[in-house]
Structure 1
Amino acid sequence: MDIYVGSIPFKWKDARLKEIFEVYGEVTSAKIVIDKITRQNKGFAFVQMPNDAEAKLAIESLNGAEIDERKIIVNESIPNNAGSLDKNKKKKPYVKPENKEWKPFRGNNKGRRD
């Protein structure tokens, strides 16, 4: 199961994150997201645990827990494309109304003196 960990201290490293979650079971990976420009962690991370029961126990136990003077947020990770449209669905093509007369754009009336 993929787990999202938010509001983590900026001084944490991947090893510290893995150490915290290994108390609840096997951890496949623990990755803190790093900013490409500043090379500082962005305050959130992702942890993968192969056993769902252990992962749910870790989520319940650690969500809202105060570690290193910060309350961390722990939730099940939702895939980035979960809310996107179905890939097989096609968008409807634009149909130009037939009875509309074309008029050139002449700007707006703001600042105009008559």
Structure 2
Amino acid sequence: MKILVRNLSRSTTEIQIRKMFEEFGKVGNCNLVLDAITGKSKGFAFVEMDDEEQAVRAMKALNETMVDKSRIRVKTAQ
């Protein structure tokens, strides 16, 4: 299942995001989207988890939580 994580602080790293989701199961891919020109975070990321049950638990638990002073939004990627 592909998950969209939005409203990330510009200081949040891909490693931090991966660790948050790994608490709920195996993470296949984690991609923090970076600006092509500046190389800085655009404030969102995609996380892939093969086990749908683990992915749903992670989304429910992490949605609306505070990470680096930002309230993140977590949902299924379209």
TM range (shorter): over 0.9
Alignment partner, residue 5 of structure 1: 5
Alignment partner, residue 39 of structure 2: 39
How many residues align structurally?
78
Alignment partner, residue 18 of structure 2: 18
TM-score (normalised: structure 2): 0.96
Q: CA RMSD in A?
A: 0.7
Once the two structures are aligned, what percentage of the paired residues are identical?
32
- Give the unaligned 5+ runs of structure 1: 79-114
**Greater per-residue strand proportion:** 2
Q: How far 1:9 sits from its partner (Å)? A: 1.0
Q: How far 1:19 sits from its partner (Å)? A: 0.5
Alignment partner, residue 52 of structure 1: 52
Q: Indicate the structure (1 or 2) with the bigger Cα radius of gyration.
A: 1
What are the superposed Cα offsets for residues 10-61 of structure 1, whole Å, 9 maximum, x if unpaired? 1122111101110111000111000001111100000000100000000111
Taking the aligned partners of 1:10 and 1:64, their CA distance within structure 2 comes to 17
Q: Which runs of 4+ in 1 moved over 3 A?
A: none
- Higher relative CO (Cα under 8 Å, sequence separation at least 6) belongs to 2
Taking the aligned partners of 2:13 and 2:72, their CA distance within structure 1 comes to 15
What are the superposed Cα offsets for residues 42-87 of structure 1, whole Å, 9 maximum, x if unpaired? 0000000010000000011111111221100000000xxxxxxxxx
